A = this chain, B = another copy of it.
Amino acid sequence: MPDGFVSRSLQRLRNAMSALGVPVDTSKQIRQQLEECARNVGGEVSTRLRAARLAETYLGLDDAARHEFLRIIALEFGPDPVAVATAHQSYQAAIGTDAQWDAEAQLRRAVRSDRLRILTQFNAIPQGVKFLVDLRADMLRYLKDDPQLAALDRELESRLSAWFDVGFLELQRITWNSPAALLEKLIEYEAVHEIRSWTDLKNRLDSDRRLYAFFHPRMPLEPLIFVEVALTDHLADNIQTLLDEHAPVFDAKRADTAIFYSISNTQTGLRGVSFGNFLLKRVVDDLKRDFPKLKTFATLSPIPGLVRWLRQHPEKLGELAGAPLTYSIDALASGDWQEHKEDLQTLHEALPRLAARYLMEARHNGKPYDPVARFHLGNGARIEKINWCADTSSKGLQQSFALMVNYLYDPDDIEENVEAFACDTRIAVSPVVRRLAKR
């Protein structure tokens, strides 16, 4: 174990804690407690208690001290390279014999570190699962500038993946009868179209709306991901209309179309643990049971990467639009053009084409550049329709010149689309959008 790492970390933690007024010896105690956790001294009950106290200590630390705390775990409680080497040798020697299988298990044990044992024990505090999810959110921030946390992060991600296996998640419909403490979280977490007030929220829970979330049994008032659905009779093409609190309520019994107009992941600390596609699948099942007339399942989605990508590739603006544009990116994003009636027709042709081509062509590491496109296309949807002036909010203009897109989930095509996308990143596109892109 490279001792330099640790002692420096320890020193910094000591400094950080003493700056917080924590007695100088505490960091030494922390290290000692971590060791006791790792060694499992005493009964499991007391080990858990100790871990719980340590977790509470963590919550009292500031950001710098938390970083050092995690570094101590990461650097000091990893596997022992010598033991790993030994186990590896025995394993390779045993291949093909009956001893192979025990040797394999031994190697796996040698590779397993005490880090995870320590973290898992934190689970003993009330709301322990949420604690670990939030701890990982901290870690992901530190990780950007501190690659030495990588192994610890990977171990925690792997454990969280086990705990948040979709088999454990509960789909719940959220209504105006749900606890206020839960609804308040929706207001806080909504990441796509801000919920402006309790009235706005109530409107999104009206009889022509549905809101579903996934929950973990040990985080009962914490939605992990939620989706907002509008029941309607057409492919919704404008988000302001959809969110208008004064719009008449649609008779849900007549609905043939379900529009997923907002999907929000809420827990940064669960990055890499995926359950979005299961959510949509189960929401579709639930909606079908309640509304047998539903035929069309589609989104009304933002195009969050469009402007960002154009700024990186400004030369593409005219090329993708199909014609030189008299507006700069900034001018388009400002929305002033909405006042220039004479330009509207041109833009009405150019901007949707621009978006269609962007969605079909812009890539990063071989996958669609646009994160929302990546999510829905990966889940088996197809690009169905580009909507002009669909989100004229400031955010909508800045992100995508007020354009939005419908992704269509056609149950008959989903599997094939998933396959085609997974194998050679083929993107499913409706004939209309294909034509638009070609023109």
The verdict on A21 contacting chain B, using a C-beta distance below 8 Å, is no
Complex CA distance for A281 and B44, rounded to whole angstroms = 11
Task: Name the one of B88, B100, B105, B152 contacting A154, with C-beta atoms under 8 angstroms.
Answer: B105
* Chain B residue contacts of A182, Cβ below 8 A: 177
Q: Give the shortest distance, in Å, between A320 (CB) and chain B (any CB).
A: 30
Q: Give the shortest distance, in Å, between A355 (CB) and chain B (any CB).
A: 26
Report whether A176 and B180 are in contact in the complex, using a CB–CB cutoff of 8 Å: yes
Report whether A85 and B78 are in contact in the complex, using a CB–CB cutoff of 8 Å: no
Contact segment of A165-173, A254-262, A367-375: A165-173
Contact residues of A: prevailing secondary structure: helix
How many copies, total?
4
* Chain B residue contacts of A105, Cβ below 8 A: 150-151, 154-155
Complex CA distance for A198 and B195, rounded to whole angstroms = 14
Complex CA distance for A152 and B182, rounded to whole angstroms = 41
Report whether A48 and B154 are in contact in the complex, using a CB–CB cutoff of 8 Å: no
Task: Name the one of B44, B152, B167, B179 contacting A123, with C-beta atoms under 8 angstroms.
Answer: B167
* Chain B residue contacts of A84, Cβ below 8 A: 88, 91-92, 107
Complex CA distance for A6 and B246, rounded to whole angstroms = 44
Report whether B42 and A422 are in contact in the complex, using a CB–CB cutoff of 8 Å: yes
Q: Give the shortest distance, in Å, between A103 (CB) and chain B (any CB).
A: 9
Q: Give the shortest distance, in Å, between A88 (CB) and chain B (any CB).
A: 5
Of residues 82 through 138 on chain A, the ones whose CB sits less than 8 Å from some CB of chain B are 84-85, 88, 91-92, 95-96, 98, 100-102, 104-105, 107-108, 111-112, 120, 123-124, 128-129
Chain A interface bracket (under 10, 10 to 19, 20 to 34, 35 or more): 35 or more
The verdict on A277 contacting chain B, using a C-beta distance below 8 Å, is yes
Question: Quick one: given A163-B163, A168-B217, are A277 and B44 in contact (CB under 8 Å)?
Answer: yes
User: Which 5 A-B pairs have CB atoms at the shortest separation, nearest pair first?
Assistant: A217-B217, A43-B418, A123-B167, A105-B154, A101-B151
Q: A108-B112, A176-B179 are in contact. List 18 more A-B contacts (CB 8 A).
A: A2-B96, A42-B419, A43-B277, A43-B379, A43-B414, A45-B281, A81-B91, A101-B152, A107-B111, A108-B155, A123-B165, A162-B163, A163-B165, A163-B168, A177-B179, A180-B198, A180-B202, A217-B217
